[in-house]
Amino acid sequence: MKNSLHHVHTLGGLKASGYQPKSVKEELRHNLIEKLRNKETIFPGIYGFDDTVLPDIERAVLSRHNILLLGLRGQAKTRIARMLVGLLDEYVPVVAGSELNDDPLAPISRYAKELIAEKGDDTPITWLHRDERYVEKLATPDVSIADLVGDVDPIKAANLRLPYSDERVIHFGLIPRAHRCLFVINELPDLQARIQVSLFNVLQEGDMQIRGFKLRLPLDVEFIFTANPEDYTNRGSIITPLKDRIESQITTHYPTAIEIGRRITEQEARITAEQRKAVRVPNVLKDLIEEIAFAARDSEYVDKKSGVSARLTISAYENLYSTAERRILRNGETATNARITDFWGIIPAITGKVEMVYEGEQEGPHAVALHLIGQALKKVFLQYFPNPTKLKKGQERDPYGVIKAWFAAGNTVDLLHDLPDNKFAQELEQVAGMQRLVDNTGIEESDTRVFMELLLHGLAEFEVLNKDFILNKWVFKDFLAGNGLNDTDEDDTRDMRDLFN
């Protein structure tokens, strides 16, 4: 709008330009229609919602509805709300000096009305960019009606020498100041019920009354609310009359496929150019990170009502890079491939992101994190190797027979966390039969080591081999050798669960 009217700075000039006021909802609707007709991307960077959430949002905008986004944490609810700003007109005119963003042709505040009455067509106007028309408030139990709606300001009354009955003593809250804007209230159930009641009028009639004043403000606001279903039982609820006034309730969800999760993780993770140059992360490890989140969402140790945020995989991905980077810095190396052994460094990214049920709390956060990694390893392992517990029909030869025989002879593999690349390769390559089995998967040569490592971890998860965590290394040995090492001090050898409890 401003591009064609940038020279307009008075009410008279605005009238002469042919400008016609539009409500916020009409702006959103009009601009969405244009984008849909032009086949433009409306929500860039939002993945996995193309056939579910995004069409519902577009329908709500076309219907000029206020919206409630209902979903578990880490499902891009706030990001989607912020992106709706892109559907507003780039600039809109406002009466200069107005605290309520008054439209020069449809003023609502006393200030704007009196200024226009005094100056007429010479009333100065300014232009408000759409980025300035976004207001966000995190609902907390201490939010008051005065915060949202407004209250009488005794200091203003004293300075202006006005009685409390004069509307000019009102200090407007966030909602009146969001006139002609998008107003987002995050975690709506956290608002006390009596505060939620204060939203009735503005949602239904589009007006606002403050402190018993007969003042009526015909506000023009597009409301976007977000809420977590868990909140309905744990912290509060959205009162039924308010829910009834929010025209569209849209349910969000987590990624339904590993590929979608990977796109989100790689887009959001903050990896430096230096890290990308020094550390290569094989695709199989990217899939493994996503499988950990899927395993957590299905785990009996994790509270499903709380959900598992996409922030888990994002933080884990960042930690995987950092763990490999730290390793090469300590070893004086310049580049490396990430390893499954490096996943010990992502445990802190898991433990703080999952809300555990009673059984999970009994196990302990570190043990649960290791369990989730183990479940993910089994899932990824079976995508490349045959199930070691189920020989195919008619298959007489065990594909893992040579490997099992090598470990049965008393051999072990010690994978220290910070082992240099050459010694890491030596540890893996000494296992008879493993190289050949990995080569049969048809993977790239650069991924050979990580698939050899996957083979070891997978066989351990299926209890073909025994895997112990000893100080700062993983030790793989024959399963029948038991959980301890005969030549290792008893105090240094611990079961994984005992170590982290």
**Residues 33, 149: contact at Cβ < 8 Å?**
no
Pair 78, 44 in one domain: yes
Pair 319, 428 in one domain: yes
pLDDT, residue 3, reads 55
pLDDT, residue 215, reads 66
Q: Which residue has the tokens 């204060």?
A: 198
Task: Give the tokens for residue 227.
Answer: 């809420």
In the listed set 218, 251, 284, which residue is the last one of a domain according to the structure?
251
pLDDT, residue 414, reads 94
Pair 265, 243 in one domain: no
Query: Which range, 146-155, 256-265, 469-478, is most confident?
Result: 256-265
In the listed set 251, 274, 294, which residue is the last one of a domain according to the structure?
251
145 pLDDT higher than 90: no
118 band by pLDDT with thresholds 50, 70 and 90: very high
Burial of 307 (0-12, 13-18, 19+ CB in 10 A): buried
pLDDT, residue 305, reads 83
What span, in angstroms and rounded, lies between the C-alpha atoms of 296 and 394? 36
- If DSSP states are collapsed to H, E and C, what string results for 31-83? HHHHHHHCCCCCCCCCCCCCCCHHHHHHHHHHCCCCEEEECCCCCCHHHHHHH
In the listed set 224, 251, 278, which residue is the last one of a domain according to the structure?
251
Pair 110, 66 in one domain: yes
Q: DSSP for 305-358? A: TT---THHHHHHHHHHHHHHHHHHHHHT-S-EE--SGGGGGGHHHHHTT--B-H
Pair 246, 263 in one domain: no
Main-chain dihedrals φ then ψ at residue 151, nearest 5 degrees = -160, 170
Per residue in 43-73, pLDDT (tens digit) is 999 999 999 999 999 999 999 999 999 999 8
What span, in angstroms and rounded, lies between the C-alpha atoms of 86 and 91? 11
Pair 223, 306 in one domain: no
C-alpha dihedral sign at 322, 324, 327, 331: negative
3-state helix vs strand vs coil in the chain, percent to 5: 50, 15, 35
Long-range CB pairs of 151-156 (<8 Å, 24+ gap) are 151/210, 151/211, 152/211
pLDDT, residue 499, reads 36
Task: Give the tokens for residue 75.
Answer: 């499902």
What span, in angstroms and rounded, lies between the C-alpha atoms of 269 and 317? 7
- Considering only CA atoms, give the Rg of the chain: 31
- Taking alpha carbons only, the member of 125, 90, 96 closest to residue 9 is 125
pLDDT, residue 13, reads 93
- If DSSP states are collapsed to H, E and C, what string results for 247-283? CEEEECCCCCCHHHHHHHHHHHCCCCHHHHHHEECCH
Better-scored residue on pLDDT, 232 or 83:
83
pLDDT, residue 235, reads 57
What's the CATH code of the domain at 211? 3.40.50.300
State mean pLDDT over 203-218.
Answer: 70
**Residues 15, 7: contact at Cβ < 8 Å?**
no
117 pLDDT higher than 90: yes
For 380, what's the count of Cα atoms within 13 Å in the CB-facing half-sphere? 30
437 pLDDT higher than 70: yes
396 band by pLDDT with thresholds 50, 70 and 90: low
182 pLDDT higher than 80: yes
Number of residues assigned to the chain: 501
- Taking alpha carbons only, the member of 74, 28, 75 closest to residue 53 is 75
- Taking alpha carbons only, the member of 381, 309, 304 closest to residue 350 is 309
Better-scored residue on pLDDT, 204 or 39:
39
Pair 352, 489 in one domain: yes
Q: Would you call 227 helix, strand, or coil by DSSP? A: strand
Helices 283-298 and 448-461 pack at an angle, to 10 degrees, of 30
Per residue in 220-259, pLDDT (tens digit) is 999 999 998 865 445 568 888 999 999 999 999 999 999 9
325 pLDDT higher than 90: yes
pTM of this structure: 0.84
Main-chain dihedrals φ then ψ at residue 241, nearest 5 degrees = -60, -35
Better-scored residue on pLDDT, 181 or 484:
181
Name the average pLDDT for the chain: 88
pLDDT, residue 4, reads 63
282 lies in which domain range? 258-500
Pair 243, 376 in one domain: no
197 pLDDT higher than 50: yes
Distances (CA, A) of 435 to 403, 426, 439: 10, 12, 6
78 pLDDT higher than 90: yes
pLDDT, residue 415, reads 93
* C-alpha 255 chain-centroid distance: 11
DSSP E strands, 176-230: 181-186, 207-208, 217-218, 221-227
205 pLDDT higher than 80: no
Better-scored residue on pLDDT, 360 or 23:
23
What span, in angstroms and rounded, lies between the C-alpha atoms of 271 and 349? 15
What span, in angstroms and rounded, lies between the C-alpha atoms of 29 and 249? 18
State mean pLDDT over 180-208.
Answer: 86
Task: Spell out a b/e string for 254-292, using b for 16 or more CB atoms within 10 Å of the CB, else e.
Answer: bbeebebbbbbbeebbebeeeeeebbebbebbbbbbbbb
Cβ atoms within 10 Å, residue 392: 8
Pair 405, 473 in one domain: yes
- Taking alpha carbons only, the member of 384, 354, 373, 365 closest to residue 291 is 373
Pair 244, 263 in one domain: no
pLDDT, residue 406, reads 95
Parallel, antiparallel, or unpaired: how do β-strands 413-416 and 473-478 relate?
antiparallel
500 band by pLDDT with thresholds 50, 70 and 90: very low
Pair 180, 315 in one domain: no
498 pLDDT higher than 80: no
204 band by pLDDT with thresholds 50, 70 and 90: confident
Per residue in 9-24, pLDDT (tens digit) is 999 999 998 899 999 9
Pair 368, 386 in one domain: yes
Amino acid 376 reads A
State mean pLDDT over 254-269.
Answer: 95
Overall number of domains in the chain? 2
What span, in angstroms and rounded, lies between the C-alpha atoms of 440 and 456? 16
